Amino acid sequence: MSDPTSGQTPPGAADPAGPAGSRRATGPKHRADPKDTPGPAGPAAQAQIDPRLLVREQGFAGYVGEFKRRMHSGELGSLPVVVGLAVIWVIFQSLNSQFLSPQNLSNLSVDIVATGLISVGIVFVLLLGEIDLSAGAVSGACAAVLAVLHVNEGWSPWAAVAAAVAVATALGLVHGLFFAKIGVPSFVVTLAGMLAWTGLQLWVLGPNGTVNLPYDGLIAQLTSTYFNQVIAAYGLAALAVAGFLTVSMVGNARRRAAGIPFRTTGDVILRTAGLAIVAFGAAYVLNQYKGLPLALLIFLAVVVAADFVQRRTRYGRSVFAVGGNIEAARRAGVNVAAIRISVFMISGAMAAVGGIFAASRIASASQATGQSNVLMMAIAAAVIGGTSLFGGRGTAYSALLGMLVIQSIASGMALQGVSNSIQFMVTGAVLLAAVVIDSISRRSQKAAGRA
């Protein structure tokens, strides 16, 4: 629309007495009355800042106030899952001291990757308020495509990976077109896709039903490579902390310069310290075993990138807008069909990447790849992690957090020798709890709104 450097405020809106100085100015509650003060200068000069207006409380009181507000208005985000994860870890560690052992945690960190990558794509779809039931089948079909092209047809691993992801993106395009252009509900389109692409998987694999990947090949190495130099894990942790600190400081400096609320230095230090404890703690544990797993590194990079796209780009903002109110998005000039189609393409592509990691983990693509509970786990992870089923609320990090919860339960139960049956039931209960939290927070958000 208009040049971002030119003022977009209406005529007469120039307000050089900007908020920098007056940001925290208080004054008697007074509504500017234009009848008393005609002329363009009137309202701007008259406007008093409401004590509540646009001021973010700072310091400890600010946290408490913000937390209360979030509780009240149902914006808990990832808080329940973090608490839940801590509880799960305490319980399983008290049952079996092997649970928090470096070996178990390291394996856990690799086991979450394949389904977690699928879940990242699911988060995008859930943000739209839609569902992709085909993700498991697409991941299996594309793992099959990869294995057949690489092993049977002799393609280079990179070419085979690229082909598998391209096929999945095309399948996502098909779902997106049927959904966005013809108006078939996403539930039905992707249910049909689930059946059709499972068939495709069986057809590609042929009569044998299994294609083994070379153990020392590039694809198997995706999940078998560990950077065992101590510096790798610590270096990544240091990079993450330094990156976070830099982004916070630069953002804060810009906010301060613009005269809008910024975090206090203490706040930034606190957050950075929190991240540092988690990052260096994880690095320490990983170094106790084999070092930093390549698969985990890739997964974290994908999650960070997805989060960046969702929260920092116009595309991501449009996804949230379509998930929040389609009509508002359309009137604001968002190309709703393009957003919907592209999201299903992302979901397809992420399903393929997840399928590739699943095949890598067991060094084969089979009829079982991506089948049974993979799809349900990917959706459950996103929801458990705090992404709403109702659209418009969520974050890419929920794929990581939700998978940690699910895999922790699986791993803890396996250590206890609990059968699969119980494991499914517990995971189901956790999912239900997550959906209940989601539903309640949605309801309290509605209640808080339009008061």
For 292, residues 6+ apart whose C-beta sits below 8 A from its C-beta are 226, 227, 232, 233, 236, 283, 286
The answer to whether residue 446 forms part of the interface with another protein (CB under 8 A) is yes
47 or 184: CB nearest another protein: 47
| CA gap 30, 49 in Å, rounded | 9
Could you say which of 94, 183, 331, 372 contacts another protein (CB under 8 A)? 331
Give the nearest distance from C-beta 353 to another protein in angstroms: 24
10 or 154: CB nearest another protein: 10
The answer to whether residue 327 forms part of the interface with another protein (CB under 8 A) is yes
Cβ burial 336-371 (10 Å sphere, 16+ → b, else e) = beebbbbbbbbbbbbbbbbbbbbbbbebbbbeebbe
Give the nearest distance from C-beta 359 to another protein in angstroms: 35
Sign of the four-CA dihedral 434, 435, 436, 437: positive
The answer to whether residue 71 forms part of the interface with another protein (CB under 8 A) is no
Could you say which of 42, 62, 102, 217 contacts another protein (CB under 8 A)? 42
Sign of the four-CA dihedral 307, 346, 187, 429: negative
Pick the piece of the chain touching another protein (CB under 8 A) from 4-12, 151-159, 286-294, 409-417.
4-12
Cβ burial 50-66 (10 Å sphere, 16+ → b, else e) = eeeeebeeeeeebeeee
The answer to whether residue 329 forms part of the interface with another protein (CB under 8 A) is yes
DSSP state for residue 225 in the 8-state scheme: -
The answer to whether residue 77 forms part of the interface with another protein (CB under 8 A) is no
**The token pair that represents 43 in the structure block:** 């309202």
12 or 209: CB nearest another protein: 12
Could you say which of 153, 255, 425, 440 contacts another protein (CB under 8 A)? 255
Secondary structure class of 373 (helix, strand, coil): coil
**The token pair that represents 166 in the structure block:** 């391209």
Task: Please report which helix (H) or strand (E) contains residue 376, including its range.
Answer: helix 374-384
The answer to whether residue 1 forms part of the interface with another protein (CB under 8 A) is yes
417 or 449: CB nearest another protein: 449
The answer to whether residue 4 forms part of the interface with another protein (CB under 8 A) is yes
**The token pair that represents 295 in the structure block:** 């698969």
Could you say which of 21, 28, 38, 207 contacts another protein (CB under 8 A)? 38
Could you say which of 84, 392, 402, 412 contacts another protein (CB under 8 A)? 392
Give the nearest distance from C-beta 317 to another protein in angstroms: 6
The answer to whether residue 245 forms part of the interface with another protein (CB under 8 A) is no
Could you say which of 26, 54, 64, 265 contacts another protein (CB under 8 A)? 54
Could you say which of 95, 188, 332, 425 contacts another protein (CB under 8 A)? 332
Neighbours of 116 (CB within 10 A): 32
Are 214 and 146 contacting, i.e. CB atoms less than 8 angstroms apart? no
Would you mind telling me the total number of residues written for the chain in this entry?
451
The answer to whether residue 49 forms part of the interface with another protein (CB under 8 A) is yes
Neighbours of 168 (CB within 10 A): 31
The answer to whether residue 39 forms part of the interface with another protein (CB under 8 A) is yes
The answer to whether residue 305 forms part of the interface with another protein (CB under 8 A) is no
The answer to whether residue 24 forms part of the interface with another protein (CB under 8 A) is no
Give the β-pairing of 226-227 and 210-212.
unpaired
Give the nearest distance from C-beta 261 to another protein in angstroms: 8
| CA gap 256, 434 in Å, rounded | 38
Nearest-10 crossing angle of helices 336-362, 294-312: 170
Q: Please report which residue ranges of 313-335 form alpha helices under DSSP H.
A: 314-324, 326-331
The answer to whether residue 314 forms part of the interface with another protein (CB under 8 A) is yes
Give the nearest distance from C-beta 106 to another protein in angstroms: 34
7 or 214: CB nearest another protein: 7
Binding site for another protein (CB under 8 A): 1-2, 4, 7-13, 15, 18-19, 31-35, 38-40, 42-44, 46-50, 52-56, 69, 73, 75, 251, 254-255, 258-260, 311-314, 317, 320-321, 323-325, 327-329, 331-334, 391-393, 445-446, 448-451
